Amino acid sequence: MDRLWTDFVNSDYHDWRGGNRSEDRLGKAEWQQAFLKQWQLNATVPASSEEEGVLRNFRNELQAIATGLSDGNALSNKDQEWLNGIMEEGQVIRRLNAGDEGLNLSLIPVGTQWQQVMAEVAADFAITVVEGDGGRIRICDNTDCRWIFYDDTRSRTQKYCDDKMCGNLMKVRRFRAKLKKD
Protein backbone atom coordinates (compact mmCIF):
# COMPACT_ATOMS: atom_id res chain seq x y z
CA MET A 1 0.00 0.00 0.00
CA ASP A 2 1.37 3.37 -0.99
CA ARG A 3 1.69 6.05 1.60
CA LEU A 4 2.30 9.71 1.00
CA TRP A 5 5.81 9.59 2.42
CA THR A 6 6.86 6.40 0.59
CA ASP A 7 5.56 7.78 -2.69
CA PHE A 8 7.65 10.89 -2.09
CA VAL A 9 10.92 9.16 -1.10
CA ASN A 10 10.57 6.67 -3.95
CA SER A 11 10.70 9.53 -6.44
CA ASP A 12 14.37 8.52 -6.61
CA TYR A 13 13.73 5.73 -9.14
CA HIS A 14 16.07 2.84 -9.93
CA ASP A 15 15.33 0.23 -12.58
CA TRP A 16 14.14 -2.75 -10.53
CA ARG A 17 14.87 -5.14 -13.41
CA GLY A 18 18.59 -4.58 -13.09
CA GLY A 19 19.23 -2.04 -15.80
CA ASN A 20 21.50 0.89 -15.14
CA ARG A 21 18.66 3.34 -15.64
CA SER A 22 17.84 5.56 -12.71
CA GLU A 23 15.84 8.72 -12.64
CA ASP A 24 15.26 11.49 -10.16
CA ARG A 25 11.58 12.05 -10.80
CA LEU A 26 11.38 14.81 -8.22
CA GLY A 27 12.61 17.36 -10.76
CA LYS A 28 10.07 16.43 -13.43
CA ALA A 29 6.98 18.62 -13.72
CA GLU A 30 4.86 15.62 -14.81
CA TRP A 31 5.79 13.68 -11.68
CA GLN A 32 5.19 16.72 -9.46
CA GLN A 33 1.73 17.29 -10.95
CA ALA A 34 0.74 13.61 -10.65
CA PHE A 35 2.03 13.45 -7.07
CA LEU A 36 0.11 16.54 -6.00
CA LYS A 37 -3.06 15.32 -7.71
CA GLN A 38 -2.87 11.82 -6.22
CA TRP A 39 -2.43 13.13 -2.68
CA GLN A 40 -4.73 16.14 -3.09
CA LEU A 41 -2.04 18.68 -2.30
CA ASN A 42 -1.36 22.07 -3.85
CA ALA A 43 1.88 23.72 -4.90
CA THR A 44 3.23 25.55 -7.90
CA VAL A 45 4.37 23.26 -10.72
CA PRO A 46 7.09 23.13 -11.73
CA ALA A 47 8.91 23.70 -8.47
CA SER A 48 11.64 26.32 -8.73
CA SER A 49 15.24 25.13 -8.83
CA GLU A 50 15.66 26.37 -5.24
CA GLU A 51 12.56 24.44 -4.14
CA GLU A 52 13.82 21.32 -5.94
CA GLY A 53 17.06 21.52 -4.00
CA VAL A 54 15.18 21.82 -0.71
CA LEU A 55 12.90 18.93 -1.72
CA ARG A 56 15.89 16.72 -2.59
CA ASN A 57 17.59 17.46 0.73
CA PHE A 58 14.33 16.70 2.52
CA ARG A 59 13.92 13.43 0.59
CA ASN A 60 17.52 12.37 1.31
CA GLU A 61 17.13 13.06 5.04
CA LEU A 62 13.80 11.21 5.17
CA GLN A 63 15.35 8.26 3.29
CA ALA A 64 18.21 8.17 5.78
CA ILE A 65 15.82 8.15 8.75
CA ALA A 66 13.67 5.43 7.14
CA THR A 67 16.78 3.37 6.40
CA GLY A 68 17.88 3.69 10.02
CA LEU A 69 14.47 2.52 11.23
CA SER A 70 14.55 -0.40 8.78
CA ASP A 71 17.92 -1.38 10.29
CA GLY A 72 16.29 -1.55 13.73
CA ASN A 73 17.46 1.82 15.05
CA ALA A 74 15.11 3.99 17.08
CA LEU A 75 14.10 7.47 16.01
CA SER A 76 16.71 9.74 17.57
CA ASN A 77 16.00 13.03 19.33
CA LYS A 78 17.76 14.80 16.46
CA ASP A 79 15.46 13.08 13.94
CA GLN A 80 12.40 13.99 16.01
CA GLU A 81 13.48 17.62 16.18
CA TRP A 82 14.10 17.68 12.43
CA LEU A 83 10.66 16.19 11.69
CA ASN A 84 9.01 18.60 14.12
CA GLY A 85 10.72 21.52 12.40
CA ILE A 86 9.43 20.43 8.99
CA MET A 87 5.91 19.81 10.30
CA GLU A 88 5.78 23.24 12.01
CA GLU A 89 6.01 24.85 8.57
CA GLY A 90 2.70 23.31 7.49
CA GLN A 91 -0.35 24.68 9.21
CA VAL A 92 -3.74 23.00 8.89
CA ILE A 93 -7.38 23.79 9.53
CA ARG A 94 -9.35 21.10 11.32
CA ARG A 95 -12.83 20.48 9.98
CA LEU A 96 -15.51 18.11 11.23
CA ASN A 97 -17.40 16.47 8.34
CA ALA A 98 -20.48 14.26 8.18
CA GLY A 99 -20.04 11.31 5.84
CA ASP A 100 -21.76 8.07 4.93
CA GLU A 101 -20.03 6.32 7.83
CA GLY A 102 -20.58 9.06 10.41
CA LEU A 103 -18.41 11.96 11.47
CA ASN A 104 -14.76 12.32 10.56
CA LEU A 105 -12.13 14.95 11.15
CA SER A 106 -10.29 16.46 8.19
CA LEU A 107 -7.01 18.32 8.35
CA ILE A 108 -6.99 20.83 5.50
CA PRO A 109 -3.60 22.32 4.58
CA VAL A 110 -3.49 26.11 4.78
CA GLY A 111 -0.52 26.67 2.50
CA THR A 112 -0.07 25.91 -1.17
CA GLN A 113 3.70 25.82 -1.42
CA TRP A 114 6.21 23.01 -1.49
CA GLN A 115 7.04 23.72 2.17
CA GLN A 116 3.45 22.72 2.99
CA VAL A 117 3.85 19.56 0.91
CA MET A 118 7.00 18.65 2.85
CA ALA A 119 5.12 19.21 6.12
CA GLU A 120 2.37 16.83 4.96
CA VAL A 121 4.94 14.20 3.91
CA ALA A 122 6.76 14.54 7.26
CA ALA A 123 3.45 14.29 9.14
CA ASP A 124 2.50 11.13 7.25
CA PHE A 125 5.91 9.63 8.10
CA ALA A 126 5.44 10.60 11.77
CA ILE A 127 1.98 9.01 11.81
CA THR A 128 3.48 5.83 10.36
CA VAL A 129 6.07 5.71 13.13
CA VAL A 130 3.63 6.60 15.93
CA GLU A 131 0.62 4.51 14.90
CA GLY A 132 2.54 1.75 13.20
CA ASP A 133 5.95 0.40 13.97
CA GLY A 134 9.19 1.89 12.68
CA GLY A 135 10.58 -1.64 12.52
CA ARG A 136 8.10 -2.39 9.73
CA ILE A 137 9.77 0.10 7.42
CA ARG A 138 11.71 -1.90 4.86
CA ILE A 139 13.98 -1.46 1.90
CA CYS A 140 13.22 -3.81 -0.98
CA ASP A 141 15.51 -6.86 -0.96
CA ASN A 142 15.96 -6.43 -4.71
CA THR A 143 19.22 -4.47 -4.63
CA ASP A 144 18.44 -3.00 -8.05
CA CYS A 145 15.18 -1.50 -6.76
CA ARG A 146 15.97 0.08 -3.37
CA TRP A 147 12.38 1.26 -2.83
CA ILE A 148 11.30 1.97 0.70
CA PHE A 149 7.97 0.53 1.85
CA TYR A 150 5.97 -0.24 4.97
CA ASP A 151 5.47 -3.95 5.72
CA ASP A 152 1.85 -4.20 6.76
CA THR A 153 1.70 -7.99 6.57
CA ARG A 154 0.61 -9.89 9.65
CA SER A 155 3.79 -12.00 9.65
CA ARG A 156 6.14 -9.00 9.26
CA THR A 157 8.11 -10.89 6.63
CA GLN A 158 7.56 -8.88 3.44
CA LYS A 159 10.87 -8.63 1.59
CA TYR A 160 9.94 -6.88 -1.62
CA CYS A 161 8.15 -3.65 -2.40
CA ASP A 162 5.90 -5.58 -4.77
CA ASP A 163 5.61 -9.37 -4.85
CA LYS A 164 4.42 -9.34 -8.46
CA MET A 165 7.36 -7.32 -9.77
CA CYS A 166 10.44 -7.54 -7.56
CA GLY A 167 9.32 -10.73 -5.79
CA ASN A 168 8.81 -12.65 -9.03
CA LEU A 169 12.00 -11.26 -10.56
CA MET A 170 14.07 -12.39 -7.57
CA LYS A 171 12.40 -15.82 -7.56
CA VAL A 172 13.32 -16.28 -11.23
CA ARG A 173 16.90 -15.13 -10.56
CA ARG A 174 17.27 -17.64 -7.68
CA PHE A 175 15.83 -20.42 -9.86
CA ARG A 176 18.21 -19.66 -12.74
CA ALA A 177 21.19 -19.45 -10.39
CA LYS A 178 20.25 -22.85 -8.98
CA LEU A 179 20.04 -24.33 -12.51
CA LYS A 180 23.54 -23.01 -13.31
CA LYS A 181 24.95 -24.78 -10.24
CA ASP A 182 23.51 -28.13 -11.29
Q: What is the pLDDT of residue 168?
A: 60
Which domains does the chain possess? 4-181 (1.10.3300.10)
Q: What is the pLDDT of residue 175?
A: 59
What is the 3 state secondary structure string of the chain?
CCCHHHHHHCCEEECCCCCCCEEEHHHCHHHHHHHHHHCCCCCCCCCCHHHHHHHHHHHHHHHHHHHHHHCCCCCCHHHHHHHHHHHHCCCEEEEEEEECCEEEEEEEECCCCHHHHHHHHHHHHHHHHHHCCHHHEEECCCCCCCCEEECCCCCCCCCCCCHHHHHHHHHHHHHHHHHHHC
Q: What is the pLDDT of residue 178?
A: 65
Give the C-alpha separation, 165 to 10, whole Å. 15
Q: What is the pLDDT of residue 1?
A: 52
Q: What is the pLDDT of residue 111?
A: 77
pLDDT along the chain (182 residues), means of 10: 87 67 86 95 93 96 94 93 94 88 84 90 93 83 80 77 64 63 68
Please state whether the predicted TM-score (pTM) of the whole model is above 0.85. Answer: no
Q: What is the pLDDT of residue 174?
A: 62
